Amino acid sequence: MSSSVDIPAETVALRGGGDFPLVGFGTWQLKGDECYDACLVALEAGYRHLDTATMYGNELEVGRALTDSGVPRDEVFVTTKYNPRSGRPELDVLGRSLEALGVDHVDLWLVHAPVDDRRNAAVWESFVKAQAAGTARDIGVSNFSGEQIDHVATATDVTPAVNQIEWRPQLHDPAVVEGHQARGVVLEGYSALKGGVLSHPVVTGIAEELDRTPAQVVVRWHVQHGIVVIPRSSQAERVRANADVGGFELTDEHMSALDGLGRRSGTRR
């Protein structure tokens, strides 16, 4: 494998005007200097998409790395999330997130998880206000079902731009993909490298054939499906390697074999 980092440049256009990079850097469970260092490595390697959340307790470190990297703010897509179970006023929380991140707006603000329909709609109304005010360029949700997306869209006449859910080959479900496409909602996956996927014989077999890592095979699978992926690592070598997927392609046979690991229930349609 090459020592350089060939990160795919593909983006997805969001309805608020943002260009959403297909490959981003996730920061869940990264804290303090570990988070700062990993984000700095990611930005130096060429990542231009950082994903954090108020629940992660690391927005300050993500923002510090963004500033210290020297990468212009308008070149980096920044996502954070609001926890509706916190009981804290949505727009106040966003204000504190912006202060911690050292930015005047986020590129994407997500409802971290659904609650009941009434609360979902109320939270989403605040998100719509944030987008109108320009403090969140695009707004979306996380861990929502199709029905929950429909509910907030109907309540506000604004459909979430993104739904971030757990996703990897073993969770692949064409009905879920089609449900998002039908609604015009971008599917973003998290925990792509968990659930035993890196040791699955189908994945390791393809990785050996292509002289790539299992993680690169999984990230590339997301990219070729047009699904946003945010791999996370605290190890600099893996941070670089995980996104080094621009220099190869999976064949149709590879994609079919990986898709075949997934479910067919359509329960999250």
**Domain layout of the chain by residue ranges:** 11-195+227-233
Task: Give, to the nearest 10 degrees, the angle between helix 146-156 and helix 174-183.
Answer: 10
- 3-class state of residue 18 by DSSP: coil
Q: Catalytic site residues?
A: 56
Average pLDDT for the chain: 95
By CB atoms closer than 10 A (0-12, 13-18, 19+), residue 136 is buried
Q: What is the pLDDT of residue 230?
A: 98
Distance (Å, whole) CA 143 – CA 110? 10
Q: What is the pLDDT of residue 2?
A: 39
Q: What is the pLDDT of residue 87?
A: 87
Q: Which amino acid is at 178?
A: E
- Supply 104's token pair: 């005047």
pLDDT band with cut points at 50, 70 and 90 for residue 266: very low
Positive or negative: CA dihedral 163, 166, 168, 173: negative
Q: H helices within the chain, ranges in order?
A: 32-45, 59-69, 90-101, 117-133, 146-156, 174-183, 201-210, 214-225, 236-242, 252-259
- 3-class state of residue 148 by DSSP: helix
Note the pLDDT tens digit of each residue in 218-250.
Answer: 999 999 999 999 999 999 999 999 999 999 999
* Binding annotation for substrate: 112
Q: What is the pLDDT of residue 169?
A: 98
Fold of 11-195+227-233: TIM Barrel (3.20.20)
Is 0.85 surpassed by the pTM of this model? yes
Distance (Å, whole) CA 11 – CA 25? 14
Q: What is the pLDDT of residue 153?
A: 98
Distance (Å, whole) CA 242 – CA 234? 12
In contact, 262 and 173? CB cutoff 8 Å? yes
- Supply 66's token pair: 């963004």
Note the pLDDT tens digit of each residue in 116-163.
Answer: 999 999 999 999 999 999 999 999 999 999 999 999 999 999 999 999
CA geometry: angle 88, 90, 94, nearest 5 deg:
110
Span 62-70, average pLDDT: 98
pLDDT band with cut points at 50, 70 and 90 for residue 268: very low
Span 186-196, average pLDDT: 97
